[in-house]
A and B are shown apart, each in its own frame.
Chain A
């Protein structure tokens, strides 16, 4: 069964500092990996995704993530955080091979607080 772990429930970071959110997954097949952001009272917005190819993926809002198969990780990074980045971030895994199912499995989320 697929699973996603986000070890950090909360992270507080100063505005302008760097941010890294951890994501570890367990999946028996080749995974699709996603990072979504949910601002308060909002739906989910896709930040970036990894399907194949270059393991360093660039996304929107200055975010990037690196897929490391050997570590089963897909950590999200941003070099300089803005106050508007305060939100909940979700890592998710899905199947590349659709016969394995189409559903996404989400991690528990990491809430990011940005200090002025």
Chain B
């Protein structure tokens, strides 16, 4: 199955600033997925990122707040823009591994102060 390197692993940010999270996969994948896990909650899909096209956002998530880049088949970034304390969450990227199922990065624990 694919191996995902996600960074940073954690960060503490000031409100109003932006943070860019990176995910690097050790193999080429068509789709990458970005999830948010709010404190004590389950995972919610933010968007699906295909290489060469605009990301597809789920209801409640918008590109201005969570811009995503997908420059090639092994890399993607998620930016959390104009952060507020409500954005404090764990953000995870994921790829589909065919019969291996979906693999997740180790997550970015974001605290906004």
Which residues of A approach B to under 8 Å, CB–CB?
32, 34, 36, 41-44, 46, 49, 51, 90, 92, 94, 102-109
Contacts and interface: CB of A to CB of B under 8 A. Distances in A.
A31 to B, nearest CB: 13
Interface residues of B, number: 23
B96 interface: yes
B65 to A, nearest CB: 19
B102 A90 contact: no
B42 A43 contact: no
Main SS of the interface on chain B? strand
A42 B106 contact: yes
B53 interface: no
A44 B4 CA distance: 12
Contacts of B31: 102
B45 A51 contact: no
Contacts of B75: none
A43 to B, nearest CB: 4
8 contacts: A36-B104, A41-B109, A43-B105, A92-B102, A102-B48, A106-B44, A108-B41, A109-B42
A90 B43 contact: yes
Nearest to B33: A103
A32 B107 CA distance: 23
B37 to A, nearest CB: 9
